[in-house]
Amino acid sequence: MMEFNYLRLLNTLMKRYQETRFFIGLGYHFDYHYKINDQLLNLDTIPPVVTSHYGYSVYNEINPEKYILSGVSLNFLFDSRDNAVNPYSGRYAFANIRMNPSFLGSTKGSSLLWLEYRDYLHLSKNRPRHLIGFLTYGWFLTSGTLPYMDLPAVGWD
């Protein structure tokens, strides 16, 4: 449906707070979509075939052929899991506040909030491997305007 080139650079540095399981950090995030070819878009027909991507971009005064999202983030993490890959117990909570100002190169200024929580429920005291893991997260636009392909989404195309 759409062809595009995508360059993404993410870097986050986290520091443990004293001898706890809390971490705090800063990050830089860069997303560059370019050579966007919206193959379903056809403005020459009557009526024209306007896609969601094109309509959203024109409405928000964003070039539908390329855009940049560039910003810094403040990150908070609590991780008490016994194993990050295959946990038996513990909790995981993460918050990321990302600011994408236009002076850092973003096509439009915006800010995002990412919240994530994981927990594990044991089904049997005798068999600790019998458990159910829960994961929930929320991804929110808190201010400004994001380019279409950088909007919060579940699953994406």
Instruction: Report pLDDT digits (tens) over 82-103.
Output: 988 888 888 999 999 999 999 9
Q: Read off φ and ψ for residue 104, nearest 5 degrees.
A: -95, 5
Percent of the chain at pLDDT above 90?
Answer: 79
Contacts of 22 (CB under 8 A, 6+ apart): 16, 76, 77, 78
- List the domain range (segments joined by +) for residue 82: 2-150
Report if residue 155 sits inside a domain.
no
Report if residue 97 sits inside a domain.
yes
Contacts of 114 (CB under 8 A, 6+ apart): 94, 95, 96, 98, 137, 138, 139, 140
Report if residue 66 sits inside a domain.
yes
Contacts of 79 (CB under 8 A, 6+ apart): 21, 23, 90, 91, 92, 93
Report if residue 93 sits inside a domain.
yes
Instruction: Report pLDDT digits (tens) over 129-153.
Output: 888 999 999 999 999 999 999 998 8
Tally of domains in the chain: 1
pLDDT at 157 over 70: no
pLDDT at 156 over 70: no
Confidence of residue 128 (pLDDT cuts 50, 70, 90): confident
Report if residue 157 sits inside a domain.
no
